[in-house]
Amino acid sequence: MFALMVTARTIAWFGSAVALVAFPLIVYRDTGSASATALLTAVETTPYLLFGLFAGAAADRWRRRPTMVITAVIACVAVASVPAADAVGTLSTPHLFVAAFAGATAMVFFDAAGFGLLPALVPRDRLADAVGRQTATATAITMAGPAVGGALVAAASPMAASILNAVTFAVAAVMLARVREPASPARSTPPDLWRDIAEGVRFIRRHPLVRLLTLIGTGNSVAGGIMTGLLVATAVQRYGVDEDGGQLGLFFTALGVGTLISTVLLPRLSRRVTAGTIAIAGLSVQAAAITVWILCTSSAPGLGALVVFQTASSTVILNGITVRHLVTPDHLQGRVNTTARMLAWGGQPIGAGLAGALVGPFGLVPTLASAVAVVAVGAVAAALSSLREVSAQLYADADA
């Protein structure tokens, strides 16, 4: 059952990764607007900010497999409506935005239910291996999916990639319908959504290291939103990439490569320096990498800068996740991690929306420069805070 569930999630993730290239290209082709492309990124990432807390709490109450099936079907219908409307000549930019929002919202609940279903399908002594396999699969998809999307766009059209995305959701729904979900144990206390959420928020607010790393994560994701929101426009306008060519997928693949490197890099860094030092260094490296990304006009160094940026950004994110797992009591792990992810990753739609608002009146380069300012200010603020001291105390407590 575990293998079937992971295969279904993998197929759905792959379709979503392919769509990372398709939807921005459709908007950019139709509007020629970097602002519209950035705003689409904001729309696609906003659902986690809006519904992340509720999805996590709701998934613990609902039957998880039916939740995944229903949300996969909703995502399929939302995505399929785009090529269907294009086929009859009624596709509009607002339709694209609504479809992107609906599909992304469904996937928030899909993933929340998947995180809860995994421990129910795997024996506890094999859970760490199962999580590792799933993470490795997701990372590989992050790398390969956009490249496949770019190749599909080059060989056919963005609509072909959208159709593939819809098909993957449909296949995932059919496969998940065959998964047998074990009965959930009865809760010892009545469920209370707001109480559960409040407990997670209180822990984050009161724990100095978790609080500081969450704030750093917010700034980190704002810069990430600016970068990804303007990725298509930057590749086309500054690097001369053909918007109809498969080369565009390489820029999205570079983000996946950076994420993969960070998963190898962080454990080694954590054995040598504190979490505070990792966070400050990660923000500083991002500022340098974005500066190179802005100044370059050829693909090779630009792709290199993008890999370095994503490596540093993902390292900051994973660093915060690791610390939360270390210091959070078991009974609060789900709520604290869901809340912290929402607060930290919530900066991405803010950054993408900011990019959409600024790129029109100020231009591409000044807007990208704002991402440099965000991470540079974050690095300085982190260096002046008590972050190093409280993270050093964590390591001292671990050695005691």
Return the domain boundaries, the chain: 1-178, 191-400
pLDDT higher than 90, residue 394: no
pLDDT of residue 57: 67
pLDDT higher than 90, residue 222: yes
pLDDT confidence tier of residue 337, bands split at 50, 70 and 90: low
Lowest mean pLDDT among 21-35, 145-159, 381-395: 145-159
pLDDT higher than 80, residue 50: yes
Most confident of 72-81, 124-133, 384-393: 72-81
Q: For residues 130 and 1, is the Cβ–Cβ distance under 8 A?
A: no
pLDDT of residue 31: 87
Nearest by Cα to 106 from 170, 149, 61: 170
Give me the mean pLDDT over the 320-347 stretch: 72
pLDDT higher than 90, residue 53: no
pLDDT of residue 169: 92
The amino acid sitting at 244 is D
Q: What is the pTM of this model?
A: 0.74
Which element (helix H / strand E) includes 259?
helix 247-270
Lowest mean pLDDT among 158-162, 187-191, 204-208, 304-308: 187-191
Q: Count CA atoms within 13 Å of residue 300 on its CB side.
A: 0
Residue 117 φ then ψ, to 5°: -75, -30
pLDDT confidence tier of residue 244, bands split at 50, 70 and 90: low
Q: Which CATH superfamily is domain 191-400 in?
A: MFS general substrate transporter like domains (1.20.1250.20)
Q: Does domain 1-178 have CATH number 1.10.1040.10?
A: no
pLDDT of residue 358: 94
pLDDT, mean over the chain: 82
Residue keyed to tokens 């995180």: 115
Q: For residues 96 and 23, is the Cβ–Cβ distance under 8 A?
A: yes
Give me the mean pLDDT over the 309-314 stretch: 92
Nearest by Cα to 91 from 39, 23, 161: 23
Question: Taking the CB of residue 90, how many other CB atoms lie within 10 A of it?
Answer: 9
Same CATH fold, 191-400 and 1-178? yes
pLDDT higher than 70, residue 155: no
Cα 211 from Cα 222, distance rounded (Å): 17
Give me the mean pLDDT over the 192-217 stretch: 83
Residue 191 φ then ψ, to 5°: -65, 140
pLDDT confidence tier of residue 124, bands split at 50, 70 and 90: low
pLDDT of residue 373: 96
